[in-house]
Amino acid sequence: MSSVSSASGAASVTSLGVGSGLPLEDLMTSLQNAENTKLKIIDNQRATIKDKISGYGKIQSSLSALNSAIQALGDPAGFGSVSAKASGSDFTATAVPGTVTGTFQVQVNSLAKSQVLLTHGVASMTAPIVDASNVPGTISFSLGGQTKTLDLSATDGSLGAIVSAINSDSTLGVRASIVNDGSANPYRMMLVPASTGTAAAITDVSVAGNTALESLIGFGASAPGSTVTEQAASNANITLNGVAITSSTNTLSNVMQGLTLNLNAVSTSGAQALTVANDADATVKKITEFVNAYNSVMSQVKMQTAYNAASKTGSALTGDGVALMTTRRLSGVTTVVNSANTVFKTLSSIGITTSPPSNEIQIDSTKLNAALSSNSTEVKSLFQGANGVVGYVKQAYADLAGSSGSLTNATSGAQSRVKSLDSYYNSTSDRIALTLSTWRSKFTRLDKMVGQMNNTSASLSNQFASLQGTKK
């Protein structure tokens, strides 16, 4: 090994052994290689542990996907989905799990509509509508059994300002707009309740302190000479299997328990069929997602613990007890028994069985669909009931990958060992550097001393040779 030194401003390259002729630089290199072996051992240990951490991480990632799948399967609203389909376009329907299934006849007789009040026209939207008092006044709206007031004193009393003030107060329950009919006095105020149906209709509009505005928008019993025109509100009306049902809105919630209808149009060709049925496809999809996620965990564990007998090489977690525990813990789900059920007590009874030797599970779709068709309640209980599949897998996930799970703890312990090895590597590296520096100093002194001795020896040899020549 060479070093660069400087003396008197000029750089010079020195190398051990130059003065003595001894292979000191080679010896130094051998010593350094021998010392660096210690670092390689630490490095290999770190790499092995980091591979374990990576393996644990991949298994935990697959477990996280399994946990998501089992959470979805455990959602009471998501399991045993029910579909509701209309034969036409007069209405649409939605149903929640538990809704009575069957085919029903629905006829839409009328839709819910909002009341519309329309004033006579004025010539300008910006001119104040005031009487001799020259104040905008206060409007009162009566609807839904309540009376709400709006003070217009902060406005200029114009049609545009009044409309803006009405729309700025959501508590009134009234929306206003301006219609331009193109006549000589084109600007007309239109008032519409915020809700549909007769119960939400405006029954009275009065103005205090401004007779000019009263004559424009007054309506109801307080304004017997009103010029306001009305399009009356109406309620929705349907017949469901001959039973008349009325609603103030076009969304009929719980028209049957769990069933909601959204009305689109009045039926012109008689009743339309509504079919409410168990949505087995949605349930099968969730079960399939669970099975796929379960198999991914098993496949990942197998990959991380594999051993190649031919090459005699292992994987990151070959023989690792924590990784192998994952397989044993999860595979117990195939032995879960719901004793509360009479027919479908285990996964195998609905067509979900183990596929040895992979430890993965497989679905017999025919058997699963038959189970859902014949007794979806027991299938749901098998998964979501007390001591069911969902509960078992959730607990297994917590035991393996939860905050205090075995994989979590193993990962944390491995990470701590890596940190310890990092510190050990750094301290060992420092010791090696000090050792090599000490040896280089010793070799430098040896090189210098042997060099001086060689020079002395050469000088004496020359002197002896000169003396021999003189004697001759």
pLDDT by residue (tens digit) across 94-120?
Answer: 998 888 999 999 999 999 999 999 999
Higher pLDDT pick, 234 / 458: 234
Angle between helices 406-471 and 389-401 (to 10 degrees): 30
Residue 4 has pLDDT above 60, yes or no: no
Phi, psi of 13 (to 5 degrees): -100, 125
Cα end-to-end span (Å), the chain: 48
Model pLDDT, residue 362: 96
Residue 462 has pLDDT above 80, yes or no: no
Cβ atoms within 10 Å of 326's Cβ, excluding its own: 29
Residue 442 has pLDDT above 70, yes or no: yes
Model pLDDT, residue 55: 95
pLDDT tens-place string over residues 197-255: 999 999 999 999 999 999 999 999 999 999 999 999 999 999 999 999 999 999 999 99
Model pLDDT, residue 14: 52
pTM recorded for the entire structure? 0.63
Q: Which residues contact 82 (CB under 8 A, 6 or more apart)?
A: 95, 96, 97, 98, 99, 101, 258, 276, 277, 278, 279
Phi, psi of 362 (to 5 degrees): -130, 160
Residue 188 has pLDDT above 70, yes or no: yes
Phi, psi of 295 (to 5 degrees): -65, -30
* Alpha-carbon Rg for the chain in angstroms: 45
Of all residues in the chain, the percent with pLDDT exceeding 70 is 95
- For the chain, what is the mean pLDDT? 90
Name the nearest CA neighbour of 363 among 334, 406, 387. Answer: 334
Model pLDDT, residue 19: 65
